[in-house]
Amino acid sequence: MDRLKMARLLFLAAACVIAAPALCGSSESSTFFIDWGRCELSVSGSAEITPKESGNVLAWQYGAALAAQKEILRGFIRSLDRLRVGAFATARDVLLEEPVKNENIYRFVSEYRRREVFYSDRLVKIKAVFPFFGETGFVPLFIEAGRSRGSFPGYAEFVHSISFTGLVVDARGLGRKPAIAPRIFDGEHMLIYSIDTVRTESFAKWGGVRYTKDPDYRGIEPRVGANPLRLVALKDEKLIETDIALATSDAMTLMQDVETRANLEQGKVIIIIDAAGLEEAEK
């Protein structure tokens, strides 16, 4: 069995036991922090510097650094159980259903070099920040987009509409939670937007949506251009917490123009949610 196949099996096995508690008194530990607003996963790993009968301080520090790097991998694996992909699945669920993708994730984490290392007299701590998307993003390694490009719903009734450069949905006060692949429905529960309608290259660049707590979405305005359609989400108790509902009349306006639909295919969507849902730390 070659190294990558063994790595895949080890990664999957670790994913199956991520809920197991850490051993009491362990000198190694890791934590993670998911920042949905910045589309980043931060993982910290630490290990004690243990003097031995042979060697020197540098060798002992190096051994602790290697152990801390292993904790980065363990923390990353645990985070997959909290990283919501969509309506009913987490990243862990996806990898368990499609174990072939574990190789890509294992290789990505193992080879990732953007790390900060901190030393003290007795401890080595390493912090790695993994972006969801972009040139070094890991989400496109196991989540596919663009399976149904162009499959926006059609409405029989004509609604006059101009072209919009993007979509901004205000979903504050509805208890919505962020996800990698949220869905947007109209008032009749017809699906009008998901990552299946987003171009693969656009999803790899910045995902299907961007979340923020700022009603003016300052700092990320370029995502939706100069003339986005701003809408308020409906309260809909039939939808789960990662999905969004719009009034059917608003959906008709959004879907009417061909240029607007082309912008949606590029993932030019911002969703404003309550601040409490944007950050998740390991508990």
Residue by residue, pLDDT tens for the chain (283 residues) are 454 444 444 454 444 433 333 333 347 899 999 999 999 999 999 999 988 877 788 898 989 999 999 999 999 999 999 999 987 899 999 999 999 999 999 999 989 989 999 999 889 999 999 999 999 999 999 999 999 887 888 888 888 889 999 999 999 999 999 999 999 999 999 999 999 999 999 999 999 999 999 999 999 999 999 999 999 999 998 899 999 999 999 999 999 999 999 999 999 999 999 999 899 988 6
> In the sheet where 279-281 sits, what is the strand order?
115-119, 123-131, 40-48, 28-35, 279-281
Identify whether 160 is part of a domain. Answer: no
Taking the whole predicted model, whether its pTM rises above 0.85 is answered as: yes
Are 171 and 56 found together in one domain?
Answer: no
Are 31 and 108 found together in one domain?
Answer: yes
Specify the residue for token string 């109209």: 186
Q: Examine the fold and report which residue of 123, 141, 159 is the final residue of a domain before the chain moves on.
A: 141
Question: Where in the sequence is the domain holding 7, given as residue range(s)?
Answer: 3-141
Q: How far is CA 241 from CA 1, 91, 236, in A?
A: 43, 17, 10
Are 130 and 176 found together in one domain?
Answer: no
Identify whether 156 is part of a domain. Answer: no
> Considering its fold, how many domains does the chain have in total?
2
Are 94 and 190 found together in one domain?
Answer: no
Are 230 and 121 found together in one domain?
Answer: no
Spatial neighbors of 6 by CB under 8 A, at least 6 apart, are none
d(CA 61, CA 67): 10
Identify whether 224 is part of a domain. Answer: yes
